[in-house]
Amino acid sequence: MTTIQAPQAWNNLRPEGRGEARGALAAYAYQQIRDRLIYCHYQGGERLVLRPLATSLGLSPTPVREALLRLVSEQALELDERNTARVPSTTRALFLEIHGVRGDLEQRVTRDLVTHITPEQVALLREKHHDFIVAYENADPHGAAVANAIFHSTAAGFSRLLFTVGMIRGLWARMGPIYAAANSLPTMSPADPTHPHLQILAAFERRDVDAATDALHHDFWQAREWLEPLLPEEQPVTL
């Protein structure tokens, strides 16, 4: 992972510039930690201890602490009884709430993409879906989860609805740890010609809004079948 050489950069700053630099480092830390959440690096209940986390990012603790508190304020993380940041555990009810809101927002993004996505962008999405196939065929649940997240994230990155995409990324930060805990593969092989991802891409090529949104709905239903049984009915007690 690429890291910023924070200490040297910090030492070279004049005093009046350090506040701005600290803000930039906090923003960098925020992005890195949120990406780790989105791309299934952490599981629910996992503690993010400040100093080891800062070391892994190549940063001092101060900007990392600011980033963690920002993620707590966004409900992507929570604080335990020792004020240590922790990845929230998720019940089935909360999963269904997040999954439903995410589905509504991604449908908006899909409708936008149909109108302007390019052949080159569709080709890139096919490459990302191929990574999903490889992970599935290697019987790698975590790799499949990451590849699935990358497919959706890449597609959203092509959208012009930047505010909506920002909201979706916040939801992905809660979904990533759920996918990270998956110990089984999706119920449908991504190599199946009728897989929703492939149906979405075909609809993009035809500029068919209804087909694209129908395929997305099917994709979300399959994700629910995959993940919901893995989650507890009630909030687990975290010691």
Of residues 40, 46, 225, the one with CA closest to residue 147: 40
Q: What is the pLDDT of residue 21?
A: 65
Domains and CATH numbers, the chain: 6-86 (1.10.10.10), 92-230 (1.20.120.530)
Q: What is the pLDDT of residue 119?
A: 98
Q: What is the pLDDT of residue 1?
A: 38
CA distance 68 to 142: 24
CA distance 218 to 195: 9
Which residues, 6+ apart, have CB-to-CB distance to 91 below 8 Å? 231, 232, 233, 234, 235
Residue pLDDT, tens place only, 123-152: 999 999 999 999 999 999 999 999 999 999
Which residues, 6+ apart, have CB-to-CB distance to 195 below 8 Å? 188, 189
Share of the chain above pLDDT 90, in %: 81
Average pLDDT over residues 190-209: 98
Mean pLDDT across the chain: 89
Q: What is the pLDDT of residue 54?
A: 97
Yes or no: say if 133 and 190 are a contact pair by the CB < 8 Å rule. yes
Residue 203 has pLDDT above 70, yes or no: yes
